Amino acid sequence: MKILKMAFKGYRNLKENELEFSPGINFVFGKNAQGKTNLMEAILMFTGARSFRGTKDADLVSFESDFARIDGKFFFENTEHEITIIFSGGKRKAIFDDITKSYPTNIIGRFKTVLFSPVHLSLVKDGPDYRRRFLDAAICQLKPTYTKTVSKYNQVLRQRNSFLKMFNQSKSGFELLDVWDSKLSDLGAKMIKERLEYLKIFKNKVFSFYNDISGGKEKIEVKYSFSVNKNINLGLSLEEIKKIMISKLEKTHESDIKTGSTSCGPHKDDLEILINEKPAKYFGSQGQQRSVVLAFKLAEAMILEEFSGESPVVLLDDVMSELDDFRKKYLLKNLGKRQVFITSCDKSDLKKLEIGKLFKVENGKIMQVKNF
Ligand SMILES: Nc1ncnc2c1ncn2[C@@H]1O[C@H](COP(=O)(O)OP(=O)(O)O)[C@@H](O)[C@H]1O
Ligand SMILES: [Mg+2]
* Contact call for residues 199 and 139 (beta carbons, < 8 A): no
Domain covering 1-112+311-372 in this structure, CATH number: 3.40.50.300
Q: In CATH, what number does 119-309 get?
A: 1.20.1050.90
Q: Indicate if 119-309 has the same CATH topology as 1-112+311-372.
A: no
Q: Is 22 in the pocket of ligand 1 (CB under 6 A)?
A: no
Res 199: pLDDT: 96
* Alpha-carbon span 104 to 60, nearest angstrom: 15
Ligand 1 binding pocket includes 58 (Cβ within 6 Å) = no
255-280 pLDDT tens trace: 999 999 999 999 999 999 999 999 99
Q: What is the pLDDT of residues 28-37, one digit of tens each?
A: 999 999 999 9
Please choose from 8, 9, 11, 12 the residue to mutate so as to test ligand 1's pocket, defined by most ligand atoms within 8 A of CB: 12
119 SS3 class: helix
Q: Which atom of ligand 1 is nearest to the CA of 40?
A: 17
What is the percentage of the chain residues whose pLDDT exceeds 70?
Answer: 99
Nearest C-alpha to atom 13 of ligand 1 is from which residue? 33
Give the model's pLDDT for residue 231: 66
Q: What is the residue extent of each domain of the chain? A: 1-112+311-372, 119-309
User: Model pTM?
Assistant: 0.93
Ligand 1 in reach of 56 Cβ (< 6 A): no
Beta strands in the chain (DSSP E): 2-9, 17-20, 25-29, 67-76, 79-88, 91-96, 99-101, 113-116, 220-225, 270-275, 278-279, 313-317, 340-344, 355-362, 365-369
Q: What is 296-341 written as a DSSP string?
A: HHHHHHHHHHHHHSSPPEEEEES-GGGS-HHHHHHHHHHHTT--EE
pLDDT 10s digits, 109-138: 999 999 999 999 999 999 999 999 999 999
Task: Say if CB 338 and CB 330 are below 8 A apart.
Answer: no
Best of 38, 62, 315, 344 for a ligand 1 pocket test (most atoms within 8 Å of beta carbon)? 38
- Tell me if 59 CB under 6 Å of ligand 1: yes
